[in-house]
Amino acid sequence: VILSRTRAGVCTLTLNRPDRLNAANDDLLLTLTAELKRAGADAEVRVVVITGAGRGFCAGQDLGDVSGRDMTFTEHLNATYNPLIRTIRTLDKPVISAVNGVAAGAGASLALAGDIRLWAQSARLIEVFSNIALVPDSGSTWFLPRLVGYNRAFELMALAEQVGADAALKMGLCEHVFADDTFADDVQAYAERLAQRPANALKLTKQALNAAVTGTLDEALDQEAALQQLAGDHWEHQEGVTAFKEKRAPNFVRA
Ligand code: LHQ
């Protein structure tokens, strides 16, 4: 259900149920979470990409799959979707959501959860939950209003309106849109660029930002002061300063 490949420090995890637009069953969710953790622990991996096989990114919960039905909705979310979203946001490495096609329901949440969101031109996002009279889950109620404000988020959720790539870029749902034909190569090139950046500093930056978006300015200032010590004591910082003084590009990837 998940294909994994690592090239040039970039681990690409591909949701692989293309005939169902990569709709999620428990196997897919648990395997994706396990693969993220494995990539997090793998010293060779510096950046993780999540993408989909075929024309979809992820159509959310597989509505034909009964595997979750012996659990309550709450139990199901706590056992599968929520650990996945938490793993993405707490992973020590940047995670890119590479949205190659439609992202619906919990798939939309997955598209929004990445640290960086790259979209193919034909990608689209639908907070589809209200079509089946459910509440947006897997982090959508947290991610979306922070990006588009409360009212636009409510409208997108209430009407299950589709957002295309150009609108998504304007609304801040993604950082870049690439042509469909070259999408996989463009994502890999972007990820390789990110993989050259100082890994320790990015890990600490992710930690600081995730704490800051939920906290007060006072808490953010304290957190920055603490994390800056960890960054400043790391060899990457020495390399950055030395490279600046020597007027050369820094090398943050040790052989
Ligand atoms: C699918 C699905 C799908 C199965 C397309 N399941 N087959 C959490 C915890 C607990 C419970 C419930 O939910 C959650 C969170 C959630 O994610 S709830 C939201 C669940 N997702 C949906 O309601 C989305 C349903 N799908 C759609 O609305 C459309 O398929 C979208 C808008 C995603 C794409 O539309 P199209 O591009 O027109 O494609 P299509 O509808 O023709 O789909 C292609 C095939 O994929 C088709 O199968 P078929 O055999 O006819 O070719 C669909 O049945 C299948 N598929 N989504 N979620």
Mean pLDDT calculated for residue range 207-216: 95
**Token pair belonging to 45:** 């991996």
Number of domains, the chain:
2
Assess whether 127 and 237 both reside in one domain. Answer: no
Instruction: Give strand ranges (E) for 91-241.
Output: 95-99, 102-104, 116-120, 124-126, 162-164, 176-178
pTM: 0.96
Assess whether 214 and 184 both reside in one domain. Answer: no
pLDDT band at 117 (very low <50, low <70, confident <90, very high): very high
Assess whether 16 and 76 both reside in one domain. Answer: yes
pLDDT band at 107 (very low <50, low <70, confident <90, very high): very high
Residues 126 and 103: beta-carbon distance below 8 Å: yes
**Residue at 252 is within a domain:** no
CATH number at residue 179: 3.90.226.10
Going by CA atoms, what residue is nearest to atom 47 of ligand 1? 20
Assess whether 226 and 191 both reside in one domain. Answer: no
Assess whether 162 and 86 both reside in one domain. Answer: yes
pLDDT in tens, 12-51: 999 999 999 999 999 999 999 999 999 999 999 999 999 9
Give the dihedral sign, CA 147/149/150/153.
negative
Q: What is the pLDDT of residue 70?
A: 85
User: Using a 6 Å cutoff on CB, does residue 59 contact ligand 1?
Assistant: yes
Domain residues for the domain of 215 are 199-245
Q: What is the pLDDT of residue 254?
A: 84
CATH number at residue 231: 1.10.12.10
pLDDT in tens, 48-63: 999 999 999 999 999 9
pLDDT in tens, 158-210: 999 999 999 999 999 999 999 999 999 999 999 999 999 999 999 999 999 99
**Residue at 137 is within a domain:** yes
CA–centroid distance, 130 to ligand 1, in Å, is: 13
Specify the DSSP class assigned to residue 21.
T
Residues 131 and 160: beta-carbon distance below 8 Å: yes
CA–centroid distance, 196 to ligand 1, in Å, is: 37
CA 95 to chain CA centroid, Å, is: 5
User: Order of strands across the sheet with 47-52?
Assistant: 2-7, 10-15, 47-52, 95-99, 116-120, 176-178
User: Using a 6 Å cutoff on CB, does residue 61 contact ligand 1?
Assistant: yes
Residues 39 and 50: beta-carbon distance below 8 Å: no
User: Using a 6 Å cutoff on CB, does residue 95 contact ligand 1?
Assistant: no
- Least confident stretch, 59-73, 75-89, 124-138: 59-73
Assess whether 62 and 154 both reside in one domain. Answer: yes
Going by CA atoms, what residue is nearest to atom 56 of ligand 1? 20
Residue 68 has pLDDT above 80, yes or no: no
**Residue at 119 is within a domain:** yes
Assess whether 151 and 178 both reside in one domain. Answer: yes
Residues 136 and 157: beta-carbon distance below 8 Å: yes
Residues 94 and 194: beta-carbon distance below 8 Å: yes
Specify the DSSP class assigned to residue 79.
I
- Cα–Cα distance measured from residue 84 to residue 209, given in angstroms and rounded to the nearest whole number: 19
CA–centroid distance, 35 to ligand 1, in Å, is: 24
Q: What is the pLDDT of residue 65?
A: 87
User: Using a 6 Å cutoff on CB, does residue 94 contact ligand 1?
Assistant: no
pLDDT band at 67 (very low <50, low <70, confident <90, very high): low
